[in-house]
Amino acid sequence: MYQLRGQRVEALSEEHIRRTAMSFCNFFGMKPTKGRNKRYDKSLEKLSSYGITINPVDDAEWSAALHGLISGHYDPQSATISVPEHIYLEACAGDRIALSVVLHEIGHMVLGHQPLMHFSSVPATENEDAEWQADAFAEHALKFLGYDSMQLSFEFY
């Protein structure tokens, strides 16, 4: 039986998520590039034109409030993505890990994840897990942008 890591959401196929990630990248001018001169600050700043806020939070403030438990957060009510400031700056500069965090949170937004109450006698599947979907979105976007795939999975019990 699959163990949800996040909220249960509408099941989406990996192919749907891949196409959505590629469309997002194209729309916001995030193009595949070779080499190390990848910059994404202009693409991320363009989100504000559509009412989406990226909120870089002071690193010390983030750490004090969240004790390193999470690397980012998406609030669907305000369309705000909050990340520690260093993550935002590193993502703008093309750092793969930091960009993965930001794209993961963007994935929650683009895939329409909303907190919903849900009861089902049928166990959830991986394709219904908001965290799996956001991870898949980030990985497909990164692969489209020319980053090596780094599909890692850690299970904690």
Q: Domains along the chain? A: 14-144 (1.10.10)
Give the Cα separation of 138 and 71 in Å (integer): 14
Q: Per mean pLDDT, which range of 19-23, 83-87, 119-123 is the poorest?
A: 119-123
Instruction: Give mean pLDDT, residues 7-25.
Output: 95
Question: Model confidence over 105-144: pLDDT tens digits?
Answer: 999 999 999 866 667 788 888 999 999 999 999 999 999 9
Predicted local confidence at residue 157, as pLDDT: 43
Predicted local confidence at residue 123, as pLDDT: 84
Amino acid present at 22 = M
Give the Cα separation of 89 and 72 in Å (integer): 13
Q: Is 102 exposed, middle or buried (0-12, 13-18, 19+ CB in 10 A)?
A: buried
Contact 5, 132 (CB under 8 A): yes
Mean pLDDT, the chain, rounded, equals 89
Predicted confidence (pLDDT) at residue 156 exceeds the cutoff of 60:
no
Q: Per mean pLDDT, which range of 31-35, 36-40, 86-90 is the poorest?
A: 31-35
Q: Of 18, 30, 19, 47, which Cα lies nearest the Cα of 140? A: 18
